[in-house]
Structure 1
């Protein structure tokens, strides 16, 4: 059965290779569930995750925190080659914005 506080990030997509829908969970990237319907794929992956978490609890393993429950500062560092940094600086100057604002706008697209 699914967890009472099931806040994990699920996705259902079509698998052309399997000719079925596949249920996935971002916090458990190695797990999936195939089904003939999207609803079945979602039910299946949620059951798999619930079973895996039960097993992890029994074995004293650390259970991944749901992405939805995490807090984010809004900051992360990205390293780019110096030439790319220069291009971004020029684009930002021409647009009259900071490099940060320019990068944020590009990532938001």
Structure 2
């Protein structure tokens, strides 16, 4: 199948290929389609196999008028999200931020960037 104008190109999705000791093969996964995976003896074969499955899945979704997930790389993000934490953790974070001489927002941003 070739890509259609109303479907994202499969190469725009977020893939990960890793070794699976349990399966004794490489497994390819796609973040936007977490229920799909493909096993193969090489990284390349795992990725190309998953891309082929994804093309078929997207074709089926379009034929059934189902929404197709937009690739993460093509989505817009505001740069804002709210996280609720317990009072004790909030206090600890505020103390660490004050000890480092930075705002709580900057402290949390630095911690998140370390991931």
TM-score, normalised with respect to structure 1: 0.95
Structure 2 unaligned regions, length at least 5 = none
Q: Does 1:97 align with 2:108?
A: no
- How many residue pairs were aligned? 109
1:47 counterpart residue number:
52
Q: Does 1:69 align with 2:77?
A: no
Q: 2:42 aligns with which of 37, 54, 71?
A: 37
Q: Secondary structure at the match of 1:30?
A: strand
1:25 counterpart residue number:
30
TM-score, normalised with respect to structure 2: 0.90
RMSD (Å) for aligned C-alpha atoms: 1.3
Deviation at 1:96, TM superposition (A): 1.0
- Cα contact 1:8–1:25 (8 A) shared by 2: yes
Q: 1:59 aligns with which of 64, 76, 93?
A: 64
Give the Cα separation in 1 of the matches to 2:2 and 2:31.
16
Structure 1 stretches of at least 4 aligned residues deviating more than 2 Å after TM superposition: 1-6
